[in-house]
Amino acid sequence: HGLTTALPTALERGEFFIEYQPLVHLGDGSVRGAEALVRWLHPQHGVLGPDRFIPLAEHTGLIVPLGRWVLEQSVRQAREWRELQGGAEAVGPLRINVNLSPCQLTHPGLVQDTVDILERAGVEPDALCLEVTESALIGADDDLLKPLRRLAEMGVDIALDDFGTGYSNLANLRRLPVSILKLDRSFTQSMQQFPADPVDLKIVEGIVSLAHSLDLAVTVEGVETGAQADQLRILGCDTAQGWYYARPGPPERLHELALVDA
């Protein structure tokens, strides 16, 4: 239908834009960075979320140039935030998380494109975190992991997104070049009730303890209430993201939030 024909040229028409959702340190509540979330401002349908067009972009191959565009915009945005911080920040320069689709992982240009984008923007690799879903890496062979490993060696963080929804062997984590687990929103939702389901509490406690013993940080998604944030902090999670802190929004908003904390 309409989306299918309009998508291939939407990038050149400049119809995509990016919203940023803060990543907050659970220990002290400070904003440490943001996740980039792409939207399509469709001339007839208005703003469309990624669920409406990412699968189509993957199917048509547009995801590669679109993903490259998102990465370049996001890295430039991180550079701007850092300039605005002016080195006077209390908690270190702001960082940027960017989602990678499985098609981008298998594209041979991934490493070089990422290196070029970071260099053009003058941003250090450790400012960047690439999010890959757990399901994209289940059963991944060495060829698929090689580009991620090279990026990780350069200092780029790799996060395992939607963690806990797939069926990955926990022991398998050791061979993945990841440094962050993003615990799926469903775990956060189960912390909504008080007292939370004791089995869910045990599961999260176990994941956090395993993650920390493997030197991985734990980020939680979908935090909507202070009670959830408290519970997840007590369970040892490191970083949080969700409507309780801020909805995804324009880049200026993130800078305001970060400056308030500094």
Contact call for residue 101 and ligand G (CB under 6 A): yes
Contact call for residue 22 and ligand G (CB under 6 A): no
Lay out the site mask for Mn ion across 158-177 (x = CB under 5 A, - = otherwise). Answer: ---x----------------
Q: Which stretch binds ligand G (CB under 6 A): 44-52, 85-93, 116-124, 195-203?
A: 44-52
- From 22, 177, 248, 251, residue interacting with ligand G (rule: CB under 6 A): 248
Beta bridge partners of 34: 22, 96
Question: Residues in the chain, how many?
Answer: 262
Burial category of 46 from C-beta neighbours within 10 Å (exposed 0-12, middle 13-18, buried 19 and up): exposed
**3-state SS string for 47-98:** EECHHHHHHHHHHHCCHHHHHHHHHHHHHHHHHHHHHHHCCCCCCCCCEEEE
Diameter of the chain by CA atoms?
51
Contact call for residue 19 and Mn ion (CB under 5 A): no
| 99: its two tokens | 């989602």
Identify the H or E element spanning 149: helix 142-154
Contact call for residue 237 and ligand G (CB under 6 A): no
Residue 93 partner contact from Na ion, ligand G, Mn ion, none using kind-dependent CB cut-offs of 5 to 8 Å: none
Identify the H or E element spanning 11: none
Contact call for residue 131 and Mn ion (CB under 5 A): yes
Nearest CA to 200 out of 208, 190, 209 is that of 190
Q: How many residues contact ligand G, by CB under 6 A?
A: 19
Lay out the site mask for Mn ion across 96-115 (x = CB under 5 A, - = otherwise). Answer: ---x----------------
Contact call for residue 161 and ligand G (CB under 6 A): yes
Contact call for residue 147 and ligand G (CB under 6 A): no
Residues that bind ligand G in the complex, under the rule CB under 6 A: 21, 37-38, 49-51, 54, 67, 70, 99, 101, 161, 221-224, 242-243, 248
Residues that bind Na ion in the complex, under the rule CB under 5 A: 161-162
